[in-house]
Amino acid sequence: MNIIVCLKQVPDTETQIKIAGDNQSIVTDDIKWVMNPYDEFGVEEALRLKEKHGGEVTVIGLGPKRVTESIRTALAMGADKGILISDDALEGSDSLAHAKALAAAIKELEYDLIFTGQRGVDDDLGIVGAAIAEFLGIPQLSLIVKVEVSEDGHSVKVERPIEGETLVITSPLPALITAQKGLNEPRYASLPGIMKAKKKPLAEKSLGDLGLDSSAFGLDARKLKILELTPPPARAAGKIIEGETPQEKAAQLAKLLHEEAKVL
């Protein structure tokens, strides 16, 4: 069973976000770049499926050269091969364009299952998984917390929590799954894993290598235009509830929630 995992590099979730002078981008100087947390779930699940069913796990990342580090992390966890799609012409592209390039790279491979994260914790869009599935003409199963591949490797059964219930869904393979928290606990790369990763194949591809026309990418081809980035709306300074005892504080809080905030 051949599994592809798409891997996006994002700012570490601890990062303080500073808006750049152009009001359209963020300051990237001090950012620590990491694998999107949801992609860690994808890598882990792919490795577990490989351990059970055999086959190969290929990780694909698109972005600048620094993305190589996150691909190496996935290789150190146990993935077999990496592909980096990197091209100056991609600078400024939107998610739909990224999905087109990722789908073009995946098309050249053999695959039964593709994992993406349910959303990138950077722009929080959650579109790339669905778009790759569409461009490849395969079903998508989104926000999945459990994956079971059939014995014959031709179909998959997944669990998808929705508001108030969990759906059990079956799909023929190949299919694309977007990973959600709860799917698994990702492993850490071991020291021998890190050593081995250095020797694993990592190919770099440009848009040209994928047979794509670079004029369909970049800032000028964007369909979603950023007008402005702003800091989050400030919240009015809060009140610290006074009182001698916990009972007094509770009484005061309940009163304010009723009279002032009008939520009780």
Partner 1 sequence: MAQGVWTIAEQRDGEIRKISYELVSEGRRLADALGQELTVVLLGADIKDKAGEFGAYGADKVLVADDPRLEPYTTDAYVAVISQLVKANDPALLLLGASVQGKDLAGRLAARLDVAMAQDCTAFAVEEGNLVATRPIYAGKAYAKVTFVNSWPQLATARPKVMAVNEPDPSRTAEVSDATFTLDDAELKTKVVEALRDESGKVDLTEADKIVSGGRGMKGPENYNILEELADVIGASVGASRSAVDAGWRPHTDQVGQTGKVVSPNLYVACGISGAIQHLAGMSTSKIIVAINKDPDAPIFQKADYGVVADLFDVVPALTEEAKKYV
Ligand X SMILES: Cc1cc2nc3c(=O)[nH]c(=O)nc-3n(C[C@H](O)[C@H](O)[C@H](O)COP(=O)(O)OP(=O)(O)OC[C@H]3O[C@@H](n4cnc5c(N)ncnc54)[C@H](O)[C@@H]3O)c2cc1C
Ligand Y SMILES: Nc1ncnc2c1ncn2[C@@H]1O[C@H](COP(=O)(O)O)[C@@H](O)[C@H]1O
* Of residues 196-255, those binding ligand Y (CB under 6 A): none
Tracing tokens 């290789």 back to the chain, one arrives at 75
Instruction: For residue 248, give the H/E element and its range.
Output: helix 246-259
Q: Which is nearer to ligand Y, 4 or 197 (CB)?
A: 4
Q: Sign of the C-alpha dihedral, residues 119, 123, 127, 132?
A: negative
Whether 197 contacts 51, CB under 8 Å: no
Q: Which of 127, 194, 216, 256 binds ligand Y (CB under 6 A)?
A: 127
Residue 153 is a binding residue for ligand X (CB under 6 A): no
| Per CB under 6 A, 126 contacts ligand X | no
Q: Tell me the residue number closest to ligand Y, measured at CB.
A: 117
Question: Rounded CA gap, 57 and 196, in Å?
Answer: 15
Answer for which of 3, 11, 41, 61 binds ligand Y (CB under 6 A) is 61
SS (H, E, C) 101-134: HHHHHHHCCCCCEEEEECCCCCCCCCCHHHHHHH
CB nearer ligand Y, residue 161 or residue 249? 161
Nearest to 217 by CA among 125, 68, 100: 100
Residues ≥6 apart with Cβ < 8 Å to 211: 104
Beta carbon nearer to partner 1, 14 or 151? 14
Is residue 60 a contact partner of residue 32, using CB atoms and an 8 Å limit? no
Cβ of residue 78: shortest distance to ligand Y, in angstroms?
A: 17
Whole-angstrom Cα distance, residue 138 to residue 175? 5
Footprint (CB under 6 A) of ligand Y, residues 129-188: 129
Tell the smallest beta-carbon distance from residue 40 to ligand X (Å).
9
Q: How far is CA 261 from CA 236, 247, 255, 258, in A?
A: 13, 20, 9, 6
CB of 84 to ligand Y, least distance (A): 9
From the list 37, 64, 92, 161, which residue makes contact with ligand X (rule: CB under 6 A)? 37
- 8 touching ligand Y, by CB under 6 A: yes
Residue 220 in 3-state DSSP?
A: helix
| Residue number with CB closer to ligand Y (1 or 130) | 130
Contact with ligand Y (CB under 6 A) among 2, 3, 4, 7? 7
Can you tell me which of 3, 11, 34, 39 binds ligand Y, judged by CB under 6 A? 39
In sequence order, which residues have a C-beta less than 8 Å from that of residue 11 and are 6 or more positions away?
17, 31, 32, 33, 34, 122
Rounded to a whole number of angstroms, the minimum distance from the CB of residue 226 to ligand Y is 14
Region binding ligand Y by CB under 6 A among candidate stretches 26-34, 60-68, 69-77, 235-243: 60-68
Shortest Å distance, C-beta 13 to ligand X: 4
The whole-angstrom separation of Cα 23 and Cα 8 is: 24
Residue list 2-21, contact with ligand X (CB under 6 A): 13
List residues binding ligand Y (CB under 6 A): 6-8, 36, 38-39, 60-63, 95, 98, 102, 116-117, 119-120, 123, 125-129
List residues binding ligand X (CB under 6 A): 13, 37
